[in-house]
Structure 1
Amino acid sequence: MKLSADLTAFAKRLGHDFTNPELLIRALTHGSMSSTTRPDNQRLEFLGDRVLGLVMAEAVLAADKTASEGQLAPRFNALVRKETCADVAREIDLGAVLKLGRSEMMSGGRRKQALLGDAMEAVIAAVYLDGGFEAAEATIRKLWGDRVATVEADARDAKTALQEWAQARRMPPPAYVETARSGPDHAPEFTIEARLENGEVAQASAKSKRAAEQDAARALLDRLSG
Structure 2
Amino acid sequence: MAQAPVDRRRLRGDESRRSVLAHAVDTATVDGLDGLTIGRLADASGHSKSGIATLFGSKEQLQLAVVAAAREVFIDRVVAPARARTPRGLVRVCALISDWLAYSRDRVFSGGCFFAATSVEFDARPGVVRDAIVAASGDWEDYLTVSIEHAMAAGELPLLDDARQLTFEMVSFLEAANTRSLLYSSAEPYRRAEVALRARLTALGADPELVSSIGAAPEA
TM-score, normalised to structure 2's length?
Answer: 0.31
More strand by share: 1
Bigger helix fraction: 2
